[in-house]
C-alpha cells in the first residue's frame, strides 16, 4: 500500500476513535430513548438515528447542543473498522474469526443504512369484500382535491402536510394545479373532534368554519402523540379558507377525523364545477388491487387470547397478468413486486384487516450479518481453545 494512503488511513483507524464512537453511540441511544417520552417514535428515529447531526437536549430546559446523528456514527464506525483492517490487521488463520465477525458488523451497519435510506412502510386497510389499490402512510397526511367530473377517472391534486403546516402563518397556497387558493387559518398537528353542542362557548365563538363539517363539529388541538402513548397516531385537522379570483368560497374544517362522517370528503363548487376536498393519510397508488375475501381472528378455545390473525386476499395485477389468492397470516407474509405484506393489525370490529406493506432492499442483510458474527465468534473461540489446549499439552 502506498505510503500516503496509509498515512491518511492511520488516524481514521485509531482505536481511540472507536472508543469515542461507541461512547457517542451510547449517549445517542440513551437520549433518543428518553426523547420518546415527549415525541413520536418515528419522529425520534428520523431526528436522532437517521440523521447526520441534531440539536440534542441536555436536560436543561430549552438548552440543546449539536451532536452527531446515527448516520454519521454508523458511517464513521464503518470507515474506522475498514481502515483498521486495511492498516493494522493482517490476515492469518488465527485471526479469521475476528475478521469474519467484523465483516458481519460491517454488513449490519450497511444494512441499516440501506434500510434507513430506501425502505418504506405503509399500511393497507381493507374491509371484507373491498378492493384497494393504494397504501397509506399513517405518519403523514395530505390534502386531496379531487375533480370527479371525468366519467373514466378522477383527477387528484395533493398538497403534502408539510406545505399546509408551512403556510399556517396565513400566506395563501397558490398553484396552477389547484382550482382555488387555500389559506390555512389554523393547523393542528394532532386534534380531537367534538360536536358543537359539546364544545366550550368560547371555542364556539371562535369557530371560523362557514361550510361543511365545520358547521356541525369543532376541532381542538391536542398534544402530538408520543412514543409512550400506546401507538396513538397523530390526527391533524385544519381550518382552510378557500378563495377563487378573490372571491371567498368558504371556510372549511378538514380533519383526519373526517371518517366520523358519512363521507369524509366535502364538496366545494367553483365556477359551476364541484370538487371534493379531503384531509387523509398520504397515499401511494399501486398498479395492482388487493381484495379482502375474509379476515379471521382465531382465539384459543374458551379464552379471549389471540391464536391467529389471517387475511384471505385476492391479488389482481393486469400489468403482470397476475390474478391469484393468497393467505397472509402472522409470520407468513405475502411478497410481491419487491413489497412484503405483513398481517399487522385489524379493525376493531374485525370487519377488515390492516396489512403492513414494506419495501426494504436491505431486508436480508441483518440475517446474513448476524450469521457471520455468530460464525466468526465460534471460529475465534475454536482457535483460542486450540491454542489453549496446545499450550497446556506443552
Partner 1 sequence: MAKDPKPNRPTHTRRLWLIPVVVIGLSALSLTGCEEEEIGAYQTAKSPPYAPPAPIDAAQSHAGHDHGQAHQETIRWDVPDGWQADPAPSAMVTAVFNISDEAGDLRVSVTKLAGDGGGTLANINRWRGQVGLGTVAAIQDQPITSIKTDQFTADLVDLVSPPGAAGRFERMLVVSIPRQETGQTWFIKMTGPGGAIDKHKQDFVGFVGSISFEGGHP
d(CA 330, CA 55): 39
Contact between 120 and partner 1 (CB under 8 A)? Answer: no
Contact between 149 and partner 1 (CB under 8 A)? Answer: no
Contact between 129 and partner 1 (CB under 8 A)? Answer: no
- Give the DSSP letter string of 2-68: -HHHHHHHHHHT-HHHHHHHHHHHHHHHHHHHHHTTTS-HHHHIIIIISSSEEEEE-SSTT-EEEEE
Residue in the structure block whose three cell numbers are 418504506: 120
Contact between 347 and partner 1 (CB under 8 A)? Answer: yes
Give the β-pairing of 181-188 and 64-68. unpaired
Task: Report the residue number, 36 or 80, with the smaller CB distance to partner 1.
Answer: 80
Site for partner 1 in 44-63 (CB under 8 A): 51-53
d(CA 77, CA 73): 6
Contact between 162 and partner 1 (CB under 8 A)? Answer: yes
Q: Which residues of 70-96 are buried (b: 16+ CB within 10 A; e: fewer)?
A: bbbbbebbbebbebbbebeeeeeeebb
Contact between 72 and partner 1 (CB under 8 A)? Answer: yes
Contact between 318 and partner 1 (CB under 8 A)? Answer: no
In the bound complex, what is the minimum distance in angstroms from residue 51's beta carbon to partner 1?
Answer: 8
For 247, the 3-state DSSP assignment is strand
Contact between 285 and partner 1 (CB under 8 A)? Answer: yes
In the bound complex, what is the minimum distance in angstroms from residue 61's beta carbon to partner 1?
Answer: 20
In the bound complex, what is the minimum distance in angstroms from residue 393's beta carbon to partner 1?
Answer: 42
Interface residue with partner 1 among 25, 98, 105, 178 (CB under 8 A) is 178
Q: Is 100 left (phi over 0), alpha (psi -120 to 50) or beta?
A: alpha
Residues in contact with partner 1 by the rule CB under 8 A: 7-8, 10-12, 14, 17, 51-53, 68, 71-72, 75-76, 79, 117, 133-134, 146, 148, 151-160, 162-163, 173, 175, 177-178, 192-201, 216-217, 220, 222, 257, 259-263, 265, 267, 274, 276, 285, 347-351
Amino acid at each position: 500500500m502506498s505510503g500516503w494512503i496509509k498515512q491518511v488511513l492511520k488516524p481514521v483507524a485509531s482505536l481511540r476513535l472507536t472508543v469515542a464512537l461507541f461512547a457517542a453511540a451510547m449517549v445517542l441511544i440513551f437520549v433518543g430513548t428518553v426523547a420518546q417520552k415527549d415525541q413520536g417514535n418515528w419522529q425520534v428515529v428520523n431526528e436522532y438515528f437517521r440523521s447526520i447531526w441534531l440539536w440534542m437536549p441536555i436536560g436543561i430546559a430549552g438548552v440543546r447542543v449539536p451532536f452527531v446523528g446515527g448516520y454519521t456514527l454508523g458511517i464513521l464506525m464503518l470507515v474506522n473498522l475498514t481502515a483498521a483492517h486495511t492498516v493494522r490487521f493482517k490476515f492469518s488463520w488465527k485471526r479469521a474469526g475476528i475478521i469474519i465477525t467484523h465483516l458481519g458488523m460491517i454488513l449490519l451497519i450497511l444494512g441499516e443504512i440501506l434500510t434507513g435510506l430506501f425502505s418504506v412502510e405503509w399500511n393497507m386497510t381493507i374491509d371484507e369484500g373491498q378492493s384497494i389499490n393504494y397504501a397509506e402512510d399513517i405518519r403523514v397526511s395530505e390534502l386531496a382535491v379531487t375533480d370527479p367530473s371525468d366519467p373514466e377517472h378522477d383527477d387528484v391534486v395533493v398538497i403534502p402536510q408539510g406545505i399546509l403546516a408551512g403556510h399556517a402563518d396565513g400566506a395563501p397556497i397558490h398553484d396552477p394545479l389547484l382550482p382555488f387558493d387555500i389559506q390555512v387559518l389554523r393547523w393542528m398537528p394532532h386534534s380531537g373532534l367534538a360536536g358543537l353542542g359539546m364544545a366550550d362557548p368560547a371555542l364556539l365563538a371562535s369557530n371560523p368554519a362557514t361550510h361543511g363539517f365545520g358547521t356541525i363539529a369543532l376541532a381542538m388541538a391536542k398534544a402530538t402523540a408520543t412514543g409512550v402513548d400506546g401507538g396513538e397516531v397523530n390526527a391533524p385537522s385544519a381550518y382552510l379558507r378557500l378563495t377563487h379570483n378573490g372571491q371567498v368560497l368558504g371556510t372549511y374544517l378538514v380533519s383526519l377525523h373526517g371518517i366520523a362522517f358519512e363521507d369524509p370528503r366535502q364538496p366545494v363548487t367553483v365556477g359551476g364545477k364541484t370538487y371534493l376536498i379531503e384531509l387523509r393519510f398520504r397515499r401511494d397508488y399501486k398498479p395492482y388491487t388487493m381484495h379482502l375475501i375474509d379476515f379471521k381472528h382465531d382465539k384459543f378455545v374458551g379464552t379471549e387470547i389471540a391464536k391467529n390473525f389471517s387475511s384471505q386476499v385476492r391479488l389482481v395485477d393486469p400489468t403482470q397478468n397476475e390474478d391469484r389468492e393468497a393467505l397472509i397470516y402472522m409470520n407468513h407474509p405475502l411478497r410481491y413486486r419487491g413489497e412484503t405484506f405483513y398481517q399487522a393489525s385489524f379493525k376493531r370490529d374485525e370487519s377488515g384487516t390492516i396489512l403492513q406493506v414494506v419495501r426494504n432492499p436491505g431486508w436480508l442483510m441483518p440475517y446474513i450479518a448476524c450469521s457471520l458474527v455468530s460464525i466468526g465468534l465460534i471460529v475465534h473461540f475454536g482457535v483460542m481453545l486450540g491454542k489453549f489446549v496446545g499450550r497446556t499439552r506443552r
